[in-house]
Amino acid sequence: MNRGLIVFILLAAAVPMLAGVAGLPRPGDPQAPVHAHVAAHYVKEGVRESGAANLVTGVLLNYRAFDTFGEVMVIFAALAAVTGVSSVPPGQRPGESGGRNDSPRPVSPPISPVVAFIIRCTAPFIALFAAFVIFKGHVHPGGGFQGGVILGALLMMLSVVFGRGTRDPLVPPPLAAWLQAAAPLTFAAVAVVGVLLTGYLLGFPGAALGPVRTLMMIALELGIAVGSAVIILGLFQHMRGD
Amino acid sequence: MSQGFDLVMLALLIGMAVAVARSKDLIAAAIIFSGYSLVMCLLWQHRGAPDVAMTEAAIGAGVTTILVLLAIGRTRRREK
Amino acid sequence: MVGLWLNIDYAAFVALFCIGLYVVLAKQNLIKKLLGLNIMETAVFAFIVTSGMVDFGAAPIISDDTTGPFASPLPHALILTGIVVALSITALALSLIVEIYRRCGTIEADELKGVE
């Protein structure tokens, strides 16, 4: 790509965007059209209708639950694609061809004892913080994704200390397969419960059945959190080469 | 006061993006990208979006950086 | 130009988007291109989140003693989905780059042009 073409493409992208941006209302303007219609309804009626004091969780898990369903399917599909790309055919894995393949099995270098000690000491606190973020997600900033990613980072750290490759991973493979599918399965289960309660897929009951509504949202958050954590651990393990 | 904070954050963001573009060492580019993600998280926290800031800090400065560093470890470290 | 100075935040995010686009177009290393793509994505997320903010607005968490204007919760939910999708794209692209290096021995785009 010669420089003239690159400059032309950058100008063709930048000039219309800057011209469009100059005509937008000032960021922070309370009278801007973006705050007028649907968002104003969510701010006014959101707590009563969705049962979540954290309006972002209410929008994600109640008003726009189908988008969240699509999103958990996307990250699950990403893990499936990474597994498909980085899987080695069964005859070529080192150590599995009965001595015909004479390249030695790759061993990871030993972990420094300082790193192992710090990880073992801080792991319970990180797990507690992740559980706090997950379960207080509907009244406090946080929710399923945030807690799930913190839990996934904790699992990555632990697999550095405890996991020993494909023969002895941190989460055994059949359990790992079910946990990675936990988020889409939880959404499907709650969708069926929604059909039974209101007649709509993923339909949430109103304020009359308040505890049931809160229980459905907590189940969704737990499913998203556990699913995201084990999916992130799976991505980490594929990227490391086991 | 808050306008000045915003301007400093935006200038930092543009500087870090230019540094990612210009550095030839890929590990340095990955770490600067992690710092860029953290400054973006602070900007969003200042704008009243704590959920998005938490997610960006965990995913951008955490998981993406780790995956990029692992990929650099299995390929080449310097850009030609 | 006065409109551009009032919306200096939006103009800075357009500049970030163009820096990311330059990295994707002009650099040859595949991992550098992926970092440029991530810069473009975060610039778009920042633009959408900034469009939802309100002057002196608090975070959209309503309890009994919070009053005053709230930031709009709708862009925040959109961007949460967007961030997770960006992570999925990055993870798949990185695994493909590692596989390309294993098969072809190089991850520079101009050297890959003639490789079968």
Contact of A153 with A197, CB cutoff 8 Å: no
- Does C8 contact A at CB distance below 8 Å? no
Give the CATH number of domain C2-54+69-104. Answer: 1.10.287.3510
Beta-carbon contacts of residue A132 (< 8 Å; ≥ 6 apart): A142, A147
**Is residue A198, in this structure, part of any structural domain at all?**
yes
* Look-up of token digits 């004091």: A53
C-alpha A120/C-alpha A66 separation (Å) is: 39
Q: Which of residues 46-65 of C touch A (CB under 8 A)?
A: 50-55, 57, 59-63
**Residue A60: inside a domain, yes or no?**
no
pLDDT digits (tens, 9 = 90+) for B44-64: 998 889 999 999 999 999 999
ipTM of model over 0.90: yes
8 Å CB contact between B51 and A56 = yes
* Inside any domain, residue A81: yes
Three-point CA angle A146, A148, A154, nearest 5°: 110
Residue A3 resides in a domain: no
Please report, for chain C, the start and end positions of each structural domain, with discontinuous segments joined by +: 2-54+69-104
Rounded Cα distance between C92 and A77, Å, is 10
Residues of chain A with C-beta less than 8 angstroms from the C-beta of B55: 145-146, 149
For residue C32, give the nearest of B17, B29, B40 by CB distance.
Answer: B29
Measured between CA atoms, the residue of chain C closest to residue B13 is C16
pLDDT for A101 equals 42
Run of H or E residues at A219: helix A210-240
Decide if A9 is inside a domain.
no
Query: Which residue bears the tokens 């998203």?
Result: A224
C-beta pairs of A94-102 under 8 Å, 24+ apart in sequence: none
List the single residue in C with minimal CA-CA distance to A56.
C73
SS3 state at C18: helix
Q: What residues make up the domain containing A216? A: 65-86+124-242
Distances (CA, A) of C49 to A94, B44, C84: 48, 7, 15
Amino acid occupying residue C65: D
Supply B5's token pair. Answer: 């904070």
**Displacement of CA A139 from its chain's centroid (Å):** 20
CB-CB contact of C39 with C22 (8 Å): no
Q: Which residues of C touch A34 (CB under 8 A)?
A: 51-52, 72, 74-75
Q: What is the pLDDT of residue A98?
A: 45
**CA-based nearest distance C23→chain B, Å:** 6
pLDDT over 80 (residue B9): yes
**A22 found inside a domain:** no
C-beta of residue A200 within 8 angstroms of C-beta of residue A194: yes
Pairwise pLDDT comparison (B79 vs B28), residue with the higher score: B28
Query: What is the domain count for chain A?
Result: 1
What is the 3-state composition of chain C as percent helix, strand, coil, each rounded to the nearest 5?
65, 5, 30
A24 part of a folded domain:
no
Which residues of B fall below an 8 Å CB-CB distance to A? Answer: 50-51, 54-55, 58-59, 62-63, 66-67, 70-71, 74
CA-to-CA distance for C49 and C30, rounded, in angstroms? 29
pLDDT tens by residue, chain A, 242 residues: 788 999 999 999 999 999 888 888 888 777 777 777 888 888 888 888 888 888 898 888 888 889 999 999 999 999 999 999 887 765 555 544 444 444 444 556 777 889 889 988 999 999 999 999 998 888 888 888 999 999 999 998 888 887 666 556 777 888 888 888 888 999 999 888 888 888 888 888 877 777 888 888 889 999 999 999 999 999 998 888 76
CB-neighbour burial class of residue A119 (10 A; exposed 0-12, middle 13-18, buried 19+)? middle
* CA distance, residue A141 to nearest chain B CA (Å): 5
> How many Å apart are CA A201 and CA A193, to the nearest integer?
8
**Residue A69 resides in a domain:** yes
Is C91 within 8 Å of chain A by CB? yes
Contact (CB, 8 A) for A33 and C19:
no
Burial C44-72, CB ≥16 within 10 A → b, else e: bbbbbbbbbbbeebebbbbeeeeeeebbb
State the count of interchain CB pairs (< 8 A) between A and C: 151
State the pTM of this model: 0.90
Contact residues on chain B for A241, CB-CB shorter than 8 A: 74
- How far is residue B51's CA from residue B35's CA, in Å, rounded to a whole number? 19
Q: Mind listing the pLDDT tens digit of every residue in chain C (116 residues)? A: 666 777 888 999 999 999 999 999 999 999 999 999 999 999 999 999 998 888 877 888 887 777 778 888 899 999 999 999 999 999 999 999 999 998 888 888 888 887 66
CA nearest to B23 within chain C: C32
> A18 CB contacts (<8 Å, ≥6 apart)?
C4, C11, C14
- Tell me the one-letter amino acid at A139: V
For residue A11, what pLDDT is reported?
A: 94
CA distance A62 to chain C (A): 11
**Is C23 in contact with C33 (CB distance < 8 Å)?**
yes
